Amino acid sequence: MQKRKLGKSDLEVSAMGLGCMGMSFGLGPAVDKQQGISVIRAAVERGVTFFDTAEVYGPFTNEELVGEALTPFRTEVKIATKFGFKIENGKQAGLDSRPDHIKEVAEASLKRLKTDVIDLFYQHRVDPEVPIEDVAGAVKDLIQQGKVKHFGLSEAGVKTIRRAHTVQPVTALQSEYSLWWREPEQEVLPTLEELGIGFVPFSPLGKGFLTGQIKEDTKFDKSDFRNVVPRFSEENRKANQAVVDLLKQIAERKKATPAQIALAWLFAQKPWIVPIPGTTKLHRLEENIGAVNIELTPDDLRHVDIAASKIPVQGARYPEEHQKLVGR
Protein backbone atom coordinates (compact mmCIF):
# COMPACT_ATOMS: atom_id res chain seq x y z
CA MET A 1 0.00 0.00 0.00
CA GLN A 2 1.33 3.43 -0.92
CA LYS A 3 1.74 6.01 1.85
CA ARG A 4 0.73 9.67 1.95
CA LYS A 5 1.53 12.53 4.30
CA LEU A 6 -1.31 14.69 5.55
CA GLY A 7 -0.17 18.15 4.53
CA LYS A 8 3.12 19.42 5.90
CA SER A 9 2.78 17.37 9.07
CA ASP A 10 4.73 14.22 9.91
CA LEU A 11 1.48 12.18 9.97
CA GLU A 12 2.12 9.54 7.33
CA VAL A 13 -0.66 7.04 6.64
CA SER A 14 -1.77 4.57 3.99
CA ALA A 15 -3.04 6.32 0.83
CA MET A 16 -6.53 5.09 1.75
CA GLY A 17 -7.95 4.79 5.25
CA LEU A 18 -10.97 2.93 6.60
CA GLY A 19 -14.00 4.84 7.82
CA CYS A 20 -15.50 2.71 10.58
CA MET A 21 -18.74 4.64 11.33
CA GLY A 22 -21.05 2.42 9.25
CA MET A 23 -20.11 -0.65 11.29
CA SER A 24 -21.99 0.78 14.28
CA PHE A 25 -24.11 3.69 13.19
CA GLY A 26 -25.88 5.65 10.49
CA LEU A 27 -26.16 3.18 7.62
CA GLY A 28 -28.55 0.55 8.96
CA PRO A 29 -28.16 -1.91 11.85
CA ALA A 30 -24.76 -2.30 13.51
CA VAL A 31 -22.72 -5.25 12.29
CA ASP A 32 -21.92 -8.19 14.50
CA LYS A 33 -18.88 -7.24 16.58
CA GLN A 34 -16.75 -10.14 15.36
CA GLN A 35 -17.52 -9.26 11.75
CA GLY A 36 -16.46 -5.65 12.40
CA ILE A 37 -13.23 -6.77 14.06
CA SER A 38 -12.41 -9.15 11.20
CA VAL A 39 -12.92 -6.44 8.53
CA ILE A 40 -10.76 -3.95 10.46
CA ARG A 41 -8.01 -6.53 10.95
CA ALA A 42 -8.23 -7.59 7.29
CA ALA A 43 -7.64 -3.93 6.38
CA VAL A 44 -4.47 -3.88 8.52
CA GLU A 45 -3.25 -7.09 6.87
CA ARG A 46 -3.70 -5.44 3.47
CA GLY A 47 -1.66 -2.37 4.37
CA VAL A 48 -4.29 0.08 5.67
CA THR A 49 -2.80 2.06 8.56
CA PHE A 50 -5.42 4.83 9.07
CA PHE A 51 -8.71 4.22 10.89
CA ASP A 52 -11.48 6.72 11.52
CA THR A 53 -14.03 6.67 14.34
CA ALA A 54 -15.83 9.08 16.74
CA GLU A 55 -17.36 8.95 20.21
CA VAL A 56 -20.77 9.79 18.76
CA TYR A 57 -20.83 6.74 16.45
CA GLY A 58 -23.05 4.42 18.40
CA PRO A 59 -22.54 6.45 20.63
CA PHE A 60 -19.34 4.94 22.02
CA THR A 61 -19.68 1.44 20.52
CA ASN A 62 -17.65 2.24 17.41
CA GLU A 63 -14.64 3.45 19.40
CA GLU A 64 -14.83 0.28 21.51
CA LEU A 65 -14.94 -1.86 18.36
CA VAL A 66 -11.99 -0.04 16.77
CA GLY A 67 -10.02 -0.18 20.03
CA GLU A 68 -10.48 -3.92 20.40
CA ALA A 69 -9.77 -4.66 16.72
CA LEU A 70 -6.56 -2.62 16.61
CA THR A 71 -5.00 -3.48 19.99
CA PRO A 72 -2.69 -6.16 18.50
CA PHE A 73 -1.50 -3.71 15.80
CA ARG A 74 -1.43 -0.46 17.77
CA THR A 75 2.15 0.47 16.92
CA GLU A 76 1.53 -0.04 13.19
CA VAL A 77 -1.62 2.08 12.80
CA LYS A 78 -2.96 5.61 13.26
CA ILE A 79 -6.35 6.17 14.88
CA ALA A 80 -8.46 9.29 14.33
CA THR A 81 -11.44 10.08 16.55
CA LYS A 82 -13.62 13.13 17.20
CA PHE A 83 -15.11 15.33 19.91
CA GLY A 84 -17.69 18.10 19.86
CA PHE A 85 -21.12 16.65 20.58
CA LYS A 86 -23.12 16.46 23.79
CA ILE A 87 -24.31 12.91 24.40
CA GLU A 88 -27.27 12.40 26.74
CA ASN A 89 -29.07 9.10 27.41
CA GLY A 90 -27.13 7.45 24.60
CA LYS A 91 -28.19 10.06 22.04
CA GLN A 92 -26.54 13.02 20.34
CA ALA A 93 -27.92 16.16 22.02
CA GLY A 94 -26.39 19.24 20.42
CA LEU A 95 -22.84 20.57 20.26
CA ASP A 96 -20.32 20.95 23.07
CA SER A 97 -16.74 22.00 22.36
CA ARG A 98 -16.00 23.66 25.71
CA PRO A 99 -12.35 23.04 26.60
CA ASP A 100 -13.20 21.06 29.76
CA HIS A 101 -15.56 18.84 27.78
CA ILE A 102 -12.91 18.25 25.07
CA LYS A 103 -10.50 17.03 27.74
CA GLU A 104 -13.12 14.73 29.30
CA VAL A 105 -13.89 13.26 25.87
CA ALA A 106 -10.19 12.66 25.22
CA GLU A 107 -9.84 10.67 28.48
CA ALA A 108 -12.95 8.58 27.73
CA SER A 109 -11.89 7.96 24.11
CA LEU A 110 -8.41 6.85 25.18
CA LYS A 111 -10.00 4.21 27.44
CA ARG A 112 -12.41 2.95 24.79
CA LEU A 113 -9.68 2.85 22.16
CA LYS A 114 -7.41 0.97 24.61
CA THR A 115 -4.53 3.32 23.89
CA ASP A 116 -2.46 6.04 25.55
CA VAL A 117 -2.48 8.47 22.61
CA ILE A 118 -4.95 9.60 19.94
CA ASP A 119 -3.10 10.11 16.65
CA LEU A 120 -5.58 12.63 15.21
CA PHE A 121 -8.29 14.38 17.26
CA TYR A 122 -10.90 16.21 15.20
CA GLN A 123 -13.51 18.72 16.23
CA HIS A 124 -16.53 16.93 14.74
CA ARG A 125 -18.55 20.09 13.99
CA VAL A 126 -17.75 23.74 14.67
CA ASP A 127 -19.51 24.96 17.83
CA PRO A 128 -20.61 28.60 17.40
CA GLU A 129 -20.81 28.99 21.21
CA VAL A 130 -17.08 28.34 21.73
CA PRO A 131 -14.36 30.43 20.03
CA ILE A 132 -12.29 28.16 17.80
CA GLU A 133 -9.14 29.57 19.44
CA ASP A 134 -10.31 28.01 22.75
CA VAL A 135 -10.93 24.68 21.02
CA ALA A 136 -7.49 24.73 19.38
CA GLY A 137 -5.95 25.72 22.73
CA ALA A 138 -7.58 22.76 24.50
CA VAL A 139 -6.23 20.32 21.89
CA LYS A 140 -2.82 22.03 22.11
CA ASP A 141 -2.83 21.27 25.87
CA LEU A 142 -3.65 17.61 25.14
CA ILE A 143 -0.80 17.48 22.60
CA GLN A 144 1.61 18.96 25.16
CA GLN A 145 0.46 16.33 27.68
CA GLY A 146 1.20 13.58 25.14
CA LYS A 147 -2.42 12.40 24.94
CA VAL A 148 -3.00 13.58 21.37
CA LYS A 149 -0.56 13.85 18.46
CA HIS A 150 -2.44 15.90 15.84
CA PHE A 151 -5.36 18.35 15.67
CA GLY A 152 -8.05 18.10 13.00
CA LEU A 153 -11.28 19.84 12.01
CA SER A 154 -14.34 18.36 10.32
CA GLU A 155 -16.68 20.25 7.97
CA ALA A 156 -15.20 23.62 9.04
CA GLY A 157 -15.26 26.74 6.86
CA VAL A 158 -12.06 28.45 5.71
CA LYS A 159 -12.18 31.34 8.22
CA THR A 160 -12.42 28.87 11.10
CA ILE A 161 -9.58 26.78 9.66
CA ARG A 162 -7.33 29.84 9.47
CA ARG A 163 -8.15 30.99 13.00
CA ALA A 164 -7.60 27.54 14.50
CA HIS A 165 -4.34 27.06 12.60
CA THR A 166 -2.77 30.15 14.22
CA VAL A 167 -3.23 28.63 17.72
CA GLN A 168 -2.43 24.98 16.98
CA PRO A 169 -1.44 23.83 13.50
CA VAL A 170 -4.27 21.87 11.91
CA THR A 171 -2.96 18.60 10.46
CA ALA A 172 -6.09 17.58 8.55
CA LEU A 173 -9.56 18.67 7.55
CA GLN A 174 -12.20 15.99 7.13
CA SER A 175 -15.18 16.84 4.91
CA GLU A 176 -17.29 15.21 2.26
CA TYR A 177 -15.68 15.19 -1.19
CA SER A 178 -16.34 13.03 -4.22
CA LEU A 179 -17.28 13.28 -7.86
CA TRP A 180 -20.82 14.16 -6.83
CA TRP A 181 -19.93 16.62 -4.07
CA ARG A 182 -17.20 18.93 -5.32
CA GLU A 183 -17.85 22.05 -3.27
CA PRO A 184 -14.47 21.81 -1.41
CA GLU A 185 -12.73 22.69 -4.69
CA GLN A 186 -14.02 26.27 -4.51
CA GLU A 187 -12.42 27.56 -1.29
CA VAL A 188 -11.40 24.69 0.95
CA LEU A 189 -8.77 22.89 -1.15
CA PRO A 190 -6.87 26.10 -2.10
CA THR A 191 -6.80 27.12 1.60
CA LEU A 192 -5.52 23.70 2.69
CA GLU A 193 -2.83 23.79 0.01
CA GLU A 194 -1.71 27.25 1.11
CA LEU A 195 -1.55 26.29 4.81
CA GLY A 196 -0.08 22.80 4.30
CA ILE A 197 -3.08 20.94 5.77
CA GLY A 198 -4.06 17.43 4.62
CA PHE A 199 -7.54 16.53 3.44
CA VAL A 200 -9.49 13.42 4.45
CA PRO A 201 -12.61 13.02 2.30
CA PHE A 202 -15.41 11.06 3.94
CA SER A 203 -18.19 9.51 1.81
CA PRO A 204 -15.74 9.35 -1.14
CA LEU A 205 -18.17 6.90 -2.75
CA GLY A 206 -21.16 9.18 -2.22
CA LYS A 207 -22.52 7.16 0.74
CA GLY A 208 -22.45 4.10 -1.52
CA PHE A 209 -24.16 5.65 -4.53
CA LEU A 210 -21.04 5.82 -6.71
CA THR A 211 -20.50 2.07 -6.42
CA GLY A 212 -23.40 1.54 -8.83
CA GLN A 213 -25.04 -0.85 -6.36
CA ILE A 214 -27.82 1.57 -5.30
CA LYS A 215 -30.70 1.86 -7.76
CA GLU A 216 -33.74 4.14 -7.77
CA ASP A 217 -35.86 1.39 -6.19
CA THR A 218 -33.31 0.33 -3.52
CA LYS A 219 -34.93 0.24 -0.07
CA PHE A 220 -32.86 1.28 2.96
CA ASP A 221 -33.29 -0.04 6.50
CA LYS A 222 -35.41 2.28 8.67
CA SER A 223 -32.33 3.16 10.77
CA ASP A 224 -30.39 4.26 7.66
CA PHE A 225 -29.56 7.98 7.50
CA ARG A 226 -29.91 7.97 3.71
CA ASN A 227 -33.71 7.80 4.12
CA VAL A 228 -33.70 11.52 5.05
CA VAL A 229 -31.01 12.69 2.61
CA PRO A 230 -32.66 14.65 -0.26
CA ARG A 231 -30.07 13.39 -2.74
CA PHE A 232 -31.29 9.84 -2.06
CA SER A 233 -34.96 10.41 -2.85
CA GLU A 234 -36.17 8.01 -5.56
CA GLU A 235 -36.45 10.67 -8.25
CA ASN A 236 -33.04 12.15 -7.41
CA ARG A 237 -31.40 8.73 -7.48
CA LYS A 238 -32.86 8.21 -10.94
CA ALA A 239 -31.50 11.58 -12.15
CA ASN A 240 -28.10 11.07 -10.48
CA GLN A 241 -27.59 7.68 -12.16
CA ALA A 242 -25.84 9.66 -14.93
CA VAL A 243 -22.82 10.13 -12.64
CA VAL A 244 -22.60 6.36 -12.08
CA ASP A 245 -22.98 5.74 -15.82
CA LEU A 246 -19.96 8.00 -16.44
CA LEU A 247 -17.90 6.04 -13.89
CA LYS A 248 -19.01 2.74 -15.43
CA GLN A 249 -17.90 3.88 -18.87
CA ILE A 250 -14.36 4.68 -17.61
CA ALA A 251 -14.30 1.56 -15.42
CA GLU A 252 -14.92 -0.67 -18.42
CA ARG A 253 -12.00 0.89 -20.25
CA LYS A 254 -9.70 0.51 -17.23
CA LYS A 255 -10.95 -3.01 -16.32
CA ALA A 256 -12.02 -1.64 -12.94
CA THR A 257 -15.26 -0.98 -11.03
CA PRO A 258 -17.12 2.36 -10.71
CA ALA A 259 -16.10 2.55 -7.03
CA GLN A 260 -12.43 2.12 -7.95
CA ILE A 261 -12.64 4.90 -10.54
CA ALA A 262 -14.35 7.23 -8.03
CA LEU A 263 -11.52 6.62 -5.54
CA ALA A 264 -8.76 6.82 -8.18
CA TRP A 265 -10.20 10.19 -9.22
CA LEU A 266 -9.79 11.44 -5.64
CA PHE A 267 -6.21 10.14 -5.36
CA ALA A 268 -5.39 12.03 -8.56
CA GLN A 269 -6.62 15.39 -7.24
CA LYS A 270 -3.85 16.08 -4.69
CA PRO A 271 -1.02 14.01 -3.15
CA TRP A 272 -2.18 15.02 0.37
CA ILE A 273 -5.72 13.65 0.00
CA VAL A 274 -6.49 10.43 1.91
CA PRO A 275 -10.05 9.17 1.39
CA ILE A 276 -11.68 6.96 4.04
CA PRO A 277 -14.35 4.80 2.38
CA GLY A 278 -16.25 2.66 4.85
CA THR A 279 -17.48 -0.89 4.40
CA THR A 280 -18.61 -3.88 6.44
CA LYS A 281 -17.72 -6.42 3.73
CA LEU A 282 -14.35 -7.98 2.97
CA HIS A 283 -14.86 -8.09 -0.82
CA ARG A 284 -15.72 -4.36 -0.85
CA LEU A 285 -12.64 -3.60 1.25
CA GLU A 286 -10.48 -5.44 -1.31
CA GLU A 287 -12.22 -3.65 -4.18
CA ASN A 288 -11.57 -0.24 -2.57
CA ILE A 289 -7.92 -1.03 -1.84
CA GLY A 290 -7.51 -2.01 -5.52
CA ALA A 291 -8.22 1.63 -6.45
CA VAL A 292 -4.82 2.69 -5.12
CA ASN A 293 -3.13 1.05 -8.12
CA ILE A 294 -5.38 2.55 -10.81
CA GLU A 295 -3.70 5.30 -12.80
CA LEU A 296 -5.95 7.94 -14.34
CA THR A 297 -4.07 9.85 -17.04
CA PRO A 298 -4.42 13.63 -17.53
CA ASP A 299 -6.64 12.77 -20.53
CA ASP A 300 -8.84 10.52 -18.37
CA LEU A 301 -9.18 13.28 -15.77
CA ARG A 302 -10.03 15.88 -18.40
CA HIS A 303 -12.65 13.57 -19.85
CA VAL A 304 -14.20 13.05 -16.38
CA ASP A 305 -14.22 16.79 -15.66
CA ILE A 306 -15.85 17.71 -18.97
CA ALA A 307 -18.45 14.93 -18.73
CA ALA A 308 -19.19 15.51 -15.04
CA SER A 309 -19.64 19.28 -15.59
CA LYS A 310 -22.59 18.48 -17.87
CA ILE A 311 -24.37 16.40 -15.21
CA PRO A 312 -26.28 18.58 -12.71
CA VAL A 313 -26.43 16.52 -9.49
CA GLN A 314 -29.95 16.56 -8.05
CA GLY A 315 -30.82 16.99 -4.36
CA ALA A 316 -29.13 18.51 -1.31
CA ARG A 317 -26.43 16.39 0.33
CA TYR A 318 -27.93 16.86 3.82
CA PRO A 319 -31.32 17.65 5.33
CA GLU A 320 -31.49 21.33 6.28
CA GLU A 321 -30.77 20.91 10.03
CA HIS A 322 -27.56 18.99 9.24
CA GLN A 323 -26.47 21.43 6.56
CA LYS A 324 -26.56 24.26 9.15
CA LEU A 325 -23.67 22.59 11.01
CA VAL A 326 -21.43 22.62 7.95
CA GLY A 327 -18.94 25.21 6.68
CA ARG A 328 -19.04 27.44 9.77
Cis before residue 59, ω within 30 degrees of 0? yes
Q: Which amino acid is at 156?
A: A
> 3-state class of 278 per DSSP?
strand
Distance (Å, rounded) from C-alpha 123 to C-alpha 135? 8
Q: Is-contact 242 206, C-beta < 8 A?
A: no
DSSP-assigned beta bridge partners for residue 57: none
Distance (Å, rounded) from C-alpha 105 to C-alpha 88? 13
DSSP-assigned beta bridge partners for residue 14: 3
* 57 classed as catalytic: yes
Shortest CA distance to 122 belongs to which of 164, 74, 173, 85? 173
Q: Which amino acid is at 12?
A: E
Distance (Å, rounded) from C-alpha 46 to C-alpha 225? 29
Q: Which amino acid is at 317?
A: R
Distance (Å, rounded) from C-alpha 26 to C-alpha 206? 14
Shortest CA distance to 298 belongs to which of 271, 269, 272? 269
Distance (Å, rounded) from C-alpha 197 to C-alpha 311? 30
What are the C-alpha distances in Å from 304 to residues 56, 183, 244, 268, 296? 36, 16, 12, 12, 10
Distance (Å, rounded) from C-alpha 14 to C-alpha 3? 4
The catalytically annotated residue of 57, 122, 177, 318 is: 57
Query: Residue 196: which residues within 8 A CB-CB, separation 6 or more?
Result: 7, 8, 9
Distance (Å, rounded) from C-alpha 182 to C-alpha 117? 33
Residues classed as catalytic? 57
